[in-house]
Every structure is written in C-alpha cells, then in structure tokens.
Amino acid sequence: MCETAKMTLVLIAAALALVLYLGATGLLARQAAGGQRAGFGYAWLALLAIVLHAGYHVWRARHSGGYPDMHFFAALSLVGLCMAIYTAELGLRGRAIALGVVVYPLAALSLLGYLLYGHTPSEALDWRLQLHAWIALLAFATLSVAALLALMLWLQERALRQHQFRLWLRALPPLTELEGLMFRTIAAGFVLLTATLLTGVLFVHNLLTQHLAHKTVFSVLSWLAFGGLLLGRRLRGWRGRKAVRWTLTAMILLFLAFFGSQFVLELILHRSP
C-alpha cells in the first residue's frame, strides 16, 4: 500500500475516534438526563475511540523518527488520551461513569487540535527526558480528572444544599463516595507530580534557565498546594468546598506550569519550549 493511502486510512481512523468519543458522550448524556445509572453500552465506543486515538499517536511517532511529539497540541492530545483511559477504567468499575460526559468531548477536542495543528517535527529525546515527559503528562492528566471530580462534587453539594433534586444527580455517585474518589485521584496524581519534579531535578539540565524557571516555580507551587490539601485532609479532615477550592487553585497553577508557558512560547513567540 502506498504511503498516501496509508496516511488516508490513518486520518479516517482518527476521524472515527472523534465520532466514537462523541457517540459515547451522547449515550452517557442521555442516560444522565433521564436520571439513570449508565449501562456499559457506551464503553465499547469509548474503548475503541481510545485505541484509535492512541494508534494515531503511535503512527505519528513512527513517522517522526520514533520519538513521541511533545509539542503543545500533541501534549494536549496525549493528556486527553490519558484522561479518557482513566475515565474508562473508572467507568468499567462502575464508578463516576458520568465523568465521561465531560472527559470524552475534551479528549475528542484535543485530538482534533492535534489533527489540525499538531504536525510539528518531533525532537530526539534521551530516554531519561522521555521518562520525565511521560510522568509529567500522566500527572497532569490524573490531576485534571481530580479537578473535574472536584467540580462535580461542588455542583452536587450546591444542588443538595439548595434542595434542588435534579435528575442528573442520580447519575452521580453518592457524595461521600465522590469525595473519596476525588482524594484518591489527587493522591495518585500527587505521587506522579512528585516523581515529575524528582526526574526533572535528576535528568533536566539547567532547570532554572529562563525558559524553564517559570515551569519549575509553578510546578513546585502546585505540588505544595496539593500536598497541603492532602495534609489538611489527613490532619484536619478538610472536605467539601474548602477541598474544592484547594484542588482548583492547585490545578490552575499546574496548568500554568505545563501549558501556559508552552502556549506563549510555541503559538505566540513561535519558539521551541
């Protein structure tokens, strides 16, 4: 098969992933709107979308010297993929299935951005830098899911406090279960973020140079915020709105560290990060 035909098939597969993500979202949204617990029919659509999404990245890496693309849109797409994988895993265990209503469209949007704008030649990365980059992406994806769980928790608490017993509330886990899941997700993301900082210190040269200093500072501030939240939960029993505020604040700092500077450097200044 000629290279043009292969590329056409790959693009069709990626476009199919977008359709499948949206199809899974539609099934989940319809069940949530009816106040029903979602069945697992959507899961086949989501899993196939994830496979096709991952396959597109593998294909791009193989045609770019064997190195994964870590530029802005590619990194966003990889984060969306990791979030979708984690969400699917939670869904298959029957936990926080409604999370897919938000995550799967985000995964589709991130893949669409990569398809349209993300074909930047990959840079050769030492295995240590690749390890650092992959851990960082996993940390960001995991803590992004935690932030979405925090928003769901806030909406659920607000609705219950105002005695607004909407049908969509029935699609969410009980309040205490949702809160527990959020903190377990934060704890997992915190471990990954700690590993990100450690591998950065060990493997990244000139960590405090001009184009990396802001990433380092915001990453450390986010790490302190997430760590403070987990410590406050353990020692003082923090929960509810306080936990939500800490989670979202820490996530904003992490976004500025991972993608804020990268957006400015690549899309505004047209410089390599």
Q: How confident is the model at residue 18 (pLDDT cuts 50, 70, 90)?
A: very high
pLDDT in tens, 129-148: 888 889 999 999 999 999 99
As a whole number of angstroms, the distance between CA 172 and CA 142 comes to 19
Q: How is the chain split into domains, by residue range?
A: 1-124, 126-273
Joined together, the tokens standing for residue 172 give 């969410």
CA gyration radius, the chain: 19
Higher pLDDT, 163 or 250: 250
As a whole number of angstroms, the distance between CA 220 and CA 211 comes to 16
pTM: 0.89
Q: How confident is the model at residue 237 (pLDDT cuts 50, 70, 90)?
A: confident
CB atoms within 10 A of CB 39: 11
- Region 50-77: what's the mean pLDDT? 85
pLDDT value, residue 273: 52
CB atoms within 10 A of CB 121: 9
pLDDT value, residue 77: 94
Distance in angstroms between the alpha carbons of the first and the last residue of the chain: 37
- Region 45-67: what's the mean pLDDT? 87
CB atoms within 10 A of CB 22: 15
Continuous H helices in the chain: 3-33, 41-62, 72-92, 100-117, 127-161, 175-203, 210-236, 240-255, 261-263
Joined together, the tokens standing for residue 210 give 């001009």
122, pLDDT greater than 70: no
Higher pLDDT, 4 or 135: 135
